Chains A and B, each alone.
Chain A
Amino acid sequence: MRIVVLGATSAIAQAAARIWAERGEELLLVGRDPQKLEAVAADLRTRGGTVETVVHDLDRDQAGLVGRVGAPDVVLLAQGVFGDASRRDRDPEYAESILRTNLISPVRLLTLLAPALPPGSCIAALSSVAGDRGRARVGVYGASKAGLDSFLSALRQRLQGSGVRVLALKPGFVDTPMTASLPKTPLFASAAQVGRGIVRAVDMGRDAVVYLPWWWRLIMLAVKALPEGVFKRLKF
């Protein structure tokens, strides 16, 4: 299998890529920091994968990249930033940069990439449970993921019948560098656990929207069902 990992230095993407590497798959890693990218590639090679890297800023030039990835069997789209909560809420430039990385860049990339994908291939994009309902603490981040979810849903409908699957992966809290500053609760999953869930979802090709771990589906069902009048007063 040929797998393209966009945002390959993300902890969750690495966890999934490790499993693929150990199976001996062919990986193309895309990321913006050459040093980090090379460290990830060395790890995956040692684990048994065939690995190439492309240093590329996904925020800037999407068209240039699409030419280089060819026609992969799986695209794991994992670029994303969480951002600093206090800055996100006050600094419009900062808010926009988060939207650019988490929403605009994926939309542009997939718009260009989707028509080129062969039947039987799979787009797996990392979204988040934060996209299910806007919360004060993750306002801009949540909005970017809600936008992504909506776009993926549209894409899924559009590609119906073409043999290309579109997976929206929705992890809950994951213990990664992105959440290093948050206090850890029992709701946190490890990156390895989420990585296994991603690989399984791609293998089975069942669900269009996959919660990781699965029980977040139930939690978010309840959260979505709360009337706005109640929700706005909640402190979580």
Chain B
Amino acid sequence: MLPYGQGRSYGDSCLNDGGKLLRTAGLDRFISFDAESGSLRCEAGVTLGEILRLLVPRGFFVPVVPGTKHVSVGGAIANDIHGKNHHRAGSFGAHVRKLELLRSDGEAQELGPDDQLFQATVGGLGLTGLITWAEIALRRIPVAAVRMEAIPFAGMDEFLSLSEESDAEFEYTVAWVDVLSRSQRGVFFRGDHAAGAIHAPRGQAAVPLDVPAVNALTVRVFNAAYYAAQKLAGRSRLQHWDPFFFPLDGVAHWNRLYGRRGLLQFQCVVPTPEALRALLSEAPPSPLTVLKRFGPARSPGMLSFPRPGFTFALDLPNRGEETFAQLARLEALAMEAGGAIYPAKDARMSAETFARSFPRLGEFSAHLDPAFSSSFWRRVHR
């Protein structure tokens, strides 16, 4: 068995070939909300988008959100996800006050951050049992808008100093890099919840068919156009929270741009700027190469991915062996630097890399539920 949230993980960590998936879409009820403390209790299948839809109008925001709002609370916990505010808020798991875990022996346990089993379950990849509900501390926001700035930069030095300066002043920071440009130019985004006007949410565009649109030429054109557009749009603007946090959610089925064979994502964290530079210089062409500095916060999970350093993520159209070789090279660089690969974005890492990425693996294994497994787990665990 393996719990299944919204299937928004990129690789096989949410799959269970030959086994059963426990769909949690029906666990979609709210249980209680305390507007004094901002404490929300809900079932594990509730999506972050649903929480935002309901509670933003009442002045609350989810403390940590990933790049899509279509993920479940259970999935967010099981991958201990991170957002653009990691340097301030840490990972999602740091805001979970309580959860209920249903084990295959039929026993339901209420767990808090001090429990070993809680620490195994946060970031636990769905392997410790089924999270039935969780209590999360939401944060207060003044209005639904974000005051954001988009700052073009010309290379890694500029990125590093922008990161340093912005993390001190802004709650949300992230950067996009044009890996095809020799100078490694990019755009640095930073923002805060604003106290200004509220914009209407925008409509959805959709990608209708599986058209293999992502190739070296289109990436080049896209990157140049994107860079120019950000430059033109001006440095500072007010934006609705939805497109600020979830730009891809605005284009339904964006993944179809990668054609029928789909895409592979790669994400790692490395401790030093030097290691980041090495990764960038090896990075194959991708329209979406994203950098972010992780803060010093300690993640609560035994297998949590976020840790101090720099995270680097990119999308690659799946071209078979050629792509796998590129991924292997990036994996090797991350390992040399003492970094880690993110299971939620992985389809290829070796058992050895997994063990090196997560030093507390042995401790974690003691908390596995014997009836739970995943395709990912069988691939990386020996």
Q: Which residues of A contact B (CB under 8 A)?
A: 11, 22, 39-40, 42-43, 46-47, 177
- Docked CA distance A123–B58 (Å): 33
A177 near B26 (CB under 8 angstroms)? yes
Q: Chain A residues with Cβ under 8 A from B26's Cβ? A: 11, 177
- Docked CA distance A42–B26 (Å): 16
Q: Chain B residues with Cβ under 8 A from A177's Cβ? A: 26
Q: Chain A residues with Cβ under 8 A from B54's Cβ? A: 22, 46-47
Per-residue interface assignment for chain B, residues 10 to 41, with 1 indicating a CB less than 8 Å from any chain A CB and 0 otherwise: 00000000000000001001111100000000
- Docked CA distance A177–B27 (Å): 11
In addition to A46-B30, A46-B32, 18 A-B residue pairs with Cβ atoms within 8 Å of each other are A11-B26, A22-B54, A39-B29, A39-B31, A42-B29, A42-B30, A42-B31, A42-B32, A43-B29, A43-B30, A43-B31, A46-B31, A46-B33, A46-B42, A46-B54, A47-B30, A47-B54, A177-B26
**A-B CB contact pairs (8 Å), 21 listed:** A11-B26, A22-B54, A39-B29, A39-B31, A40-B29, A42-B29, A42-B30, A42-B31, A42-B32, A43-B29, A43-B30, A43-B31, A46-B30, A46-B31, A46-B32, A46-B33, A46-B42, A46-B54, A47-B30, A47-B54, A177-B26
Query: CB within 8 Å of A: which of B301-344?
Result: none
- Docked CA distance A136–B31 (Å): 41
Q: Chain B residues with Cβ under 8 A from A40's Cβ? A: 29
What residue in chain B is nearest A39 (Cβ atoms)? Answer: B29
- Docked CA distance A153–B42 (Å): 41
Q: Chain B residues with Cβ under 8 A from A39's Cβ? A: 29, 31
- Docked CA distance A177–B28 (Å): 13
- Docked CA distance A43–B46 (Å): 11
Q: Chain B residues with Cβ under 8 A from A47's Cβ? A: 30, 54
Q: Chain A residues with Cβ under 8 A from B31's Cβ? A: 39, 42-43, 46
- Minimal beta-carbon separation of A114 from chain B (angstroms): 32
- Docked CA distance A177–B29 (Å): 15
Q: Chain B residues with Cβ under 8 A from A42's Cβ? A: 29-32
- Minimal beta-carbon separation of A112 from chain B (angstroms): 31
Per-residue interface assignment for chain B, residues 52 to 79, with 1 indicating a CB less than 8 Å from any chain A CB and 0 otherwise: 0010000000000000000000000000
Q: Chain A residues with Cβ under 8 A from B32's Cβ? A: 42, 46
- Docked CA distance A11–B29 (Å): 11
- Docked CA distance A39–B26 (Å): 13
What 6 A-B pairs are tightest by C-beta distance, nearest first?
A: A46-B30, A43-B29, A43-B30, A46-B33, A42-B31, A39-B29
What residue in chain A is nearest B34 (Cβ atoms)? Answer: A46
- Docked CA distance A47–B29 (Å): 10
Q: Chain B residues with Cβ under 8 A from A11's Cβ? A: 26
Q: Chain A residues with Cβ under 8 A from B30's Cβ? A: 42-43, 46-47
- Docked CA distance A46–B138 (Å): 14
- Docked CA distance A47–B31 (Å): 10
Which one of B30, B32, B33, B54 has the highest number of Cβ atoms from chain A below 10 Å of its Cβ? B30
Q: Chain A residues with Cβ under 8 A from B42's Cβ? A: 46
What residue in chain A is nearest B40 (Cβ atoms)? Answer: A46
- Minimal beta-carbon separation of A181 from chain B (angstroms): 13
What residue in chain B is nearest A40 (Cβ atoms)? Answer: B29
- Docked CA distance A22–B32 (Å): 14
What residue in chain A is nearest B46 (Cβ atoms)? Answer: A43
- Docked CA distance A22–B55 (Å): 11
- Docked CA distance A42–B46 (Å): 14
- Docked CA distance A220–B199 (Å): 43
Q: Chain B residues with Cβ under 8 A from A43's Cβ? A: 29-31
- Docked CA distance A188–B30 (Å): 25
- Minimal beta-carbon separation of A90 from chain B (angstroms): 29
What residue in chain A is nearest B30 (Cβ atoms)? Answer: A46
- Docked CA distance A183–B243 (Å): 35
- Docked CA distance A47–B53 (Å): 10
- Minimal beta-carbon separation of A202 from chain B (angstroms): 22
- Minimal beta-carbon separation of A185 from chain B (angstroms): 17
What residue in chain B is nearest A190 (Cβ atoms)? Answer: B25
- Minimal beta-carbon separation of A18 from chain B (angstroms): 9
Query: CB within 8 Å of A: which of B232-254?
Result: none
What residue in chain B is nearest A176 (Cβ atoms)? Answer: B26
What residue in chain A is nearest B58 (Cβ atoms)? Answer: A48
- Docked CA distance A11–B26 (Å): 9
- Docked CA distance A177–B26 (Å): 8
- Minimal beta-carbon separation of B194 from chain A (angstroms): 25
Query: CB within 8 Å of A: which of B105-119?
Result: none
Q: Chain B residues with Cβ under 8 A from A46's Cβ? A: 30-33, 42, 54
What residue in chain B is nearest A14 (Cβ atoms)? Answer: B29
- Docked CA distance A161–B33 (Å): 44
- Minimal beta-carbon separation of B297 from chain A (angstroms): 29
- Minimal beta-carbon separation of A224 from chain B (angstroms): 33
- Minimal beta-carbon separation of A178 from chain B (angstroms): 11
Q: Chain A residues with Cβ under 8 A from B33's Cβ? A: 46
- Docked CA distance A230–B185 (Å): 68
